[in-house]
A and B are shown apart, each in its own frame.
Chain A
Amino acid sequence: MGIGRVWVFGELAEGKPTTTTLELIEGAKSLGASSVEVVLHGPEVDGALGVLGGTGVSKVYNVGDLGDALVGAPIAAAIAGQIESGNSPDSILFGATYDGRDVAARLSAKISKGVITNCIGLEAQGDTIVASHALFGGSQIAKSKFTGAGPWLFVVRAKTFSAPESLGEASVESQSISVPDLGATGAAMVINRHVEERSGPKLDEAPIVVSGGRGLGQSEHYAMIEELAKLLNGAPGASRAIVDAGWVPYAYQVGQTGKTVKPTVYIACGISGATQHMVGMKGSKNIIAINKDKDAPIFTICDLGIVGDVHKVLPALIDALKNR
């Protein structure tokens, strides 16, 4: 029977499928699914159909505009409704996004099926999907699979698959699916949306990421990270230690409990390289580390290591770049 039908929980931003969504579609195709179908929501689904058709998906399920409701409960209920009425996929892929995890978790409990999370690879082996996971800072890879009947739910980390470089347009079948009555579970409503202005590329899409850690000493010194990132047209990131300390928001965090990044160059400044952090950046094409402790684990995975004080190296580097 092969891998069968694979659904993707897709998300739109400014009317277009997000990078994560495109990655998941590529992933579903790479599994050799008999059909790849995407579940979408929001007021802009119809406008995105052309691009989705261009990715080669065979169907789009439109849950419609959810208004101000948080999406976890309604999308999970809409998918569960399809499964109960006999229109069941064999597997569903979710991005490890704020909403993707909510939908996967709700759906898992609703249909009493487990969910395999933090996948950094999915491959078809016969009729089974094998998921890979990074353990202990990425020093080991565990492989897991479901032992029971599907639908199998997988939450996949960003950058596991590559989104296509360019997108064409093609028509695709679209079907509306409805949200059943949610009772109390659907009662969480957004009353205000705050957009924090951030210049430069997004953390998980930037070609260069400059991250700071506890070695910066104090929160004011994070400004050096932001300045360097800006000079390199990159994105600033952070280790968990300084997010926990409240220096920068959670959205900056690179690591196991944060974002996975795979930039062309990752510059780790004052980061020792705890397993928690390494798991999120080890896949970078090139790694530069600046740290005063020559025994720091970060130096075991870097392509260029500067054993030195970030408070000296970073200002000199910033000056040199400014003077070019």
Chain B
Amino acid sequence: MNVAVCVKQIPDPAAPGSLDPTTKNLVRGGKLILDDSDAYGVEIALQLAESSGGGEVTLVSMAPNGETSGLRTALAMGASKAVLVSDGKLAGSDALGTARVLAEAIKRVSPDLVLAATESTDGYTGTTPVQVAELLGMPSVTFAKKIEVDGNSIKVERQTEAGYDEVSCPLPAVVTVTAGVVEPRYPSFKGIMAAKSKPVDQLDVAGLGLSDSQVGSTGAGQEVFEVQDAPQRDVGEIVEDDGEGYAKVVSFLENLKLI
């Protein structure tokens, strides 16, 4: 089976982020990396393609500039190719604008299954994959812990408030994957070398048949108009544990009458 995985290249979360003071967009400077959250989807896609006796894993991504460094990581893990939609007009896109772009890109791949993370690490709206599903006219299952293919449908374990549901869903479908459910493979040296020559098909907004008004800040219909520092919390007492640190915790809880 052929699987498309939506992946996002993000600024390294270990580096402090910032907003552009004028546009209030996230500053995406420096090298972009593959969002950790997406590695799980890539791993599951590779496993499903392998266990179904072949098929391709295609990455689908969007970035305002032609950045590919994060995509190469996922290609090195074993994905076959990537479709990257890159266009300056995409800057400031909201989740729906992003979904329009990804949906059009996915149509060009016609996969049996579309995977995505439940939410990105940087923007974390968590709505884009289901918006993609609606635009493609596909069913969707979010918060998947496990996916099994059964002929023309899939069986998904979906996290719920009380435990999990087993969900049956015909293909094609969109599934979002929670982090930590599989162990993403590390790219091998051979994989890293191979990734350098794997095809990355670059498209722009016009090439997807979308109009400028559907994407970017013009298509967003929402704006961040103010950013303030949050009120600081006062720092309390910090003590080195000398073996009696636990007693501090006990008396803290006693003072609050919680024990």
Which of A's residues lie within 8 Å of B, judged by CB?
13, 70, 72-73, 76, 96-98, 101-102, 104-106, 108-110, 112-118, 133-136, 138-148, 155, 183-196, 207-208, 232, 240, 243-246, 249-251, 256-257, 264-265, 267, 274-276, 282, 286-288, 290, 294, 299-309, 312-314, 316-317, 320-321, 324
Q: Hey, which chain B residues are within 8 Å of A245, CB to CB? A: 180
Q: Hey, which chain A residues are within 8 Å of B259, CB to CB? A: 232, 321, 324
Q: Chain B at the A interface: mostly helix, strand, loop or mixed?
A: mixed
Are A114 and B167 within 8 A (Cβ)?
Answer: no
Q: Hey, which chain A residues are within 8 Å of B161, CB to CB? A: 13, 97-98, 251
Are B163 and A194 within 8 A (Cβ)?
Answer: yes
Are A140 and B229 within 8 A (Cβ)?
Answer: yes
Q: Hey, which chain A residues are within 8 Å of B258, CB to CB? A: 207-208, 232, 264-265
Number of A-B contacts (CB under 8 A): 284
Apart from the given pairs A101-B126, A320-B247, 13 other A-B contacts in the complex at a CB distance below 8 Å:
A70-B139, A105-B95, A105-B128, A105-B129, A108-B95, A117-B126, A141-B230, A142-B19, A193-B162, A300-B235, A304-B236, A314-B246, A317-B246
- Cβ-closest chain B residue relative to A306: B245
**What is the CA–CA distance of A146 and B222 in the complex, to the nearest angstrom?**
4
Confirm or deny: B114 has a beta carbon within 8 angstroms of a beta carbon on chain A.
no
Confirm or deny: B13 has a beta carbon within 8 angstroms of a beta carbon on chain A.
yes
**What is the CA–CA distance of A317 and B247 in the complex, to the nearest angstrom?**
7
**What is the CA–CA distance of A314 and B107 in the complex, to the nearest angstrom?**
53
Min CB gap B5→A, angstroms = 18
**What is the CA–CA distance of A316 and B167 in the complex, to the nearest angstrom?**
44
Residues facing A in B239-255 (CB within 8 A) are 239-241, 243, 245-250, 252-253
B119, B170, B230, B252: most-surrounded residue (chain A CB, <10 A): B230
Q: Hey, which chain B residues are within 8 Å of A288, CB to CB? A: 249, 252
Residues facing A in B140-193 (CB within 8 A) are 140-143, 145, 155, 158-170, 173, 178-181, 183
- Cβ-closest chain B residue relative to A248: B180
**What is the CA–CA distance of A300 and B249 in the complex, to the nearest angstrom?**
17
- Cβ-closest chain A residue relative to B163: A196
Are A193 and B236 within 8 A (Cβ)?
Answer: no
Which of B's residues lie within 8 Å of A, judged by CB?
13, 16-19, 24, 36-37, 94-96, 99, 118-119, 121, 124-135, 137-143, 145, 155, 158-170, 173, 178-181, 183, 220-230, 233, 235-241, 243, 245-250, 252-253, 256, 258-259
- Cβ-closest chain B residue relative to A138: B230
**What is the CA–CA distance of A266 and B56 in the complex, to the nearest angstrom?**
46
The 3 closest A-B pairs by CB, nearest first: A308-B241, A105-B130, A109-B134
Are A246 and B180 within 8 A (Cβ)?
Answer: yes
Are B249 and A306 within 8 A (Cβ)?
Answer: yes
**What is the CA–CA distance of A191 and B167 in the complex, to the nearest angstrom?**
6
**What is the CA–CA distance of A110 and B221 in the complex, to the nearest angstrom?**
15
Are B19 and A243 within 8 A (Cβ)?
Answer: no
Q: A138-B230, A142-B226, A282-B233 are in contact. Are A106 and B130 (CB under 8 A)?
A: yes
Are B246 and A313 within 8 A (Cβ)?
Answer: yes
Q: A109-B134, A189-B167 are in contact. Are A313 and B256 (CB under 8 A)?
A: no
Q: Hey, which chain A residues are within 8 Å of B243, CB to CB? A: 312, 316
Q: Hey, which chain A residues are within 8 Å of B160, CB to CB? A: 98, 193
